[in-house]
Amino acid sequence: MTEEIRAEPDALIRLADAALTAADELGNDYRHSVRDLMPPSGAFGNTAASGPLAGVADRLQSDARLAVYVHAQILEADADKLLQAAFAYAAADRMAAEGMGGARGAQL
């Protein structure tokens, strides 16, 4: 015998909204705050090591930008899947209500 998996569509929608908000805030915080932490190229001095050091800093910033972008994409994809699940549960609830005369969780 299998166990029934149940979820409340409204709770899934709230969770999807939270994921979209997190993705938006993550991107905004990076665009408006974190990227400004990159020191200017002149901050590395004029020694033989300053060029390679500035190159490492550039690569780190590029890697950070990619990580933030991918993380935001994952959050957005998760939100999409949560919304799809919410709509599927809502449709199942409607079908059950039509077939039984009441929705799941309805007062008897």
**pLDDT beyond 70 at 14:** yes
Exposure string (b/e) for 68-79, b if CB count within 10 Å is 16 or more? Answer: beeebeebbebb
**pLDDT beyond 50 at 107:** no
- Token pair of 14 as six digits: 């709230």
- The residues spanned by each domain of the chain are 9-99
Interacting residues of 86 by C-beta distance below 8 A, sequence separation 6+: 7, 9, 10, 12, 13, 16
Does domain 9-99 bear CATH number 1.10.287? yes
Average pLDDT of the chain is: 85
- Token pair of 71 as six digits: 């993380």
Decide if 82 contacts 9 (C-beta within 8 A). no
pTM higher than 0.75 = no
Assign 74 to helix, strand or coil: helix
Q: What is the mean pLDDT of residues 35-54?
A: 83
Taking alpha carbons only, the member of 27, 31, 10 closest to residue 71 is 27
